[in-house]
Amino acid sequence: MAPRRWAAVAVVVVGATAVVAGPSSQALAAIAGAGGAGVGTKAALGSPNCDQATGKIKLQFYGAPPCVRPWTDGSDNGGATAQGVTAKSIKVVVLVPPEDKDKSSTNGGIKNQATGMNGLSKDATLDENAVLAHSYQTWGRTVEYQFVEATGTDEASQRADAVTVKAMKPFAVFDTAQFAQGGGGPVFQQLIANAGVPGNVPPMSAGDLLKPMEVNMAEWAGKELVDGNAQFGGDDVKSKKRVFGVIYPGGSDGMDLGVFTKEFAKYGGKIAPGAAVSYSTPTDPAAQSAAFQDEATPLIAKLKQAGVTSIVDFAGAGLVANATGSFTKAATGQDYFPEWLVTGSPYNDLDFFARSFDQQQWAHAFGQVWFTPYVAGGASDALTALFQWYWGKNEGTHSPGIFSLVYRLYNGIMTAGPNLTRATFNTALAKFPASGGAFQNMITNLETGIPPAPIPLRGTALAWWNPKASGGSNQIGIPGTGKYAYLNGGKRYLTGKYPAKLQPFFDSSKSVLQFDAIPAQDQVGPYPCDNCPTTGGGQAPSASS
């Protein structure tokens, strides 16, 4: 999915039948001429792999790309149109962690389906690639991977690894080392982008990532919470009129607080004096956890002293270090129990991470959740369902994070057309049609393919934290205690569409923890997977080679 975050996973069931709305004619026309792909043309819609009802290829995934014109082997694709591109291949270099890091418990969810154990980034890259290579049009070229082992997580190592990778002159670079905390990171990614690698763009700063969350949060909190009492907080605040404070990532690439405060003011909302506190994030992932712990106590003390009853939490709970975990622990240590307003900041809205927060604090958490409810029936998420559509349930190494990288690459290659250059690749991605989530009234599939804009549209559901509920984590299915309870059946909202009245947070009778089956409006296909391992194809997963 257009995955803005590694765990941008969604849910789809294999074997259900429904018509999912395809991309609009305007969206198709926008990318039709990017590089000769013929998106939206009669020839594209007549292609054997095209579902004319949706305008998308027959891929068992709600985020399938739009159909493109047929291609005849041996046709002229322009040859070496860009760095790392020849008439027959597209070179991609993958930065992988050392094997001991790759198989650790913090490897970002890379699983070998055959063994049930943690798998390797290299195997996941090749196996995720096989899924998409089967169905995508690549204009006579094959994606070929070269792997480089990361030397470390510190800035010097990130710089050295960037030098090595740049010298290989690839079309695109994947940083999979970051998922396993074994190398890579923002310095490496920025240097690769600065080098002009055609298929790479600068990593999103915290500020860019959080802008749509700021806008959505300002609207929701402004409509529902301003001028009310902090009724969902602890005994020390619940009878008081709400006083808002904010925690956010600071620094040169941190969040632009002005986006939130300006939007919040439109609804009469304001931050209390001295109640906007920022924290810093070291570039070395190994140093982040200690830094967050050091900053948490004085920053929470500042919010308490300012009389804040309701904390707008833009702090993250990332793969490497957990800022919100540090802040909630510090609040309990100071006997301070405010409302915690969930913004969807990565990955506070994922059950799996929220379970690690101080539960005395998070019992007062509610707000916007980007991830969708877990579905107990069928595959736990759309990416697993897609992977198993091709490989089956007992073969291959699957990784949601690595899929997001491969998915972006193939979407760009296919919709750019034969003339694959940096310009046609990025233009195709910029205009890739949006689908899923609030765009199609789906509740178990996320928004994907959202065209970039100053502040991109981003959907969320409304939910509250139930520390006693147990079951599979939203989206990823990992069992445990503590779950987000969704209001309005998990309905997702886009900017401008949030309810004007306070919703029934913390009312179990009006909430849903998960679904037993995929709702009808979220179903895709089913489509056959011709000549796949699931239908008798002879392909073997990478780990078996």
* Torsion over CA: 403, 404, 407, 409 (sign): negative
Q: pLDDT value at position 9?
A: 31
22 contacts 439 by C-beta, under 8 angstroms:
no
Can you spell out the DSSP letters for 453-482? -SS----EEEEEEEEEEEEEPTTT--EEEE
Label each residue of 107-169 as H, E or C: CCCCEECCCCCECCHHHHHHHHHHHHHHHCCCCCCEEEEEEEECCCCCHHHHHHHHHHHHCCC
Does the structure show a pLDDT above 80 at 527?
Answer: yes
The pTM (predicted TM-score) of the whole model is 0.85
| Mean pLDDT of the 126-155 span | 97
> In Å, how far are 5, 185, 389, 422, 441 from 206, measured between CA atoms?
12, 13, 35, 25, 28
400-453 per-position pLDDT tens digit: 889 999 999 999 999 999 999 999 999 999 888 888 999 999 999 998 877 766
pLDDT at 543 over 80: yes
- Percent over 90 (pLDDT), the chain: 72
In 3-state terms, the chain is what percent helix, strand and coil (to 5)? 35, 15, 50
pLDDT by residue (tens digit) across 82-103?
A: 999 999 999 999 999 998 888 8
Sign for the pseudo-dihedral over CA of 120, 126, 127, 132: positive
Cβ neighbours for 313, distance < 8 A, ≥ 6 positions apart: 247, 324, 327, 340, 341, 342, 343, 345, 348, 365
Q: End-to-end CA distance of the chain, in Å?
A: 28
For 480-508, give the DSSP string.
Answer: EEEEEEEEGGG-EE-TT-S-SS---TT-G
- Residue, of 18 and 319, whose pLDDT is higher: 319
Fold of 206-374+456-521: Rossmann fold (3.40.50)
Q: Please say whether the beta carbons of 172 and 200 come within 8 A.
A: yes
d(CA 478, CA 257): 34
The DSSP code sequence of 69-116 is: ----TT----SS-STTB-SSEEEEEEEE--HHHHTSTTSSS-EETTTS
Q: What is the pLDDT of residues 498-522, one digit of tens each?
A: 999 999 999 999 999 999 988 888 9
Q: How confident is the model at residue 63 (pLDDT cuts 50, 70, 90)?
A: very high
Res 251: pLDDT? 86
Q: Please state the rounded mean pLDDT for residues 273-290.
A: 88
Neighbours of 452 (CB within 10 A): 14
Name the amino acid, one letter, at 323.
Answer: A
Res. 376 pLDDT band, cuts 50 70 90: confident
Confidence at residue 2, expressed as pLDDT on a 0 to 100 scale:
31
Residue 100: which residues within 8 A CB-CB, separation 6 or more?
Answer: none
Which pLDDT tens digit goes with each residue over 305-318? 999 999 999 998 76
What does the pLDDT look like over 467-501, one tens digit per residue?
Answer: 999 999 998 888 999 999 999 999 999 999 999 99
Domain boundaries, the chain: 206-374+456-521
DSSP 227: T
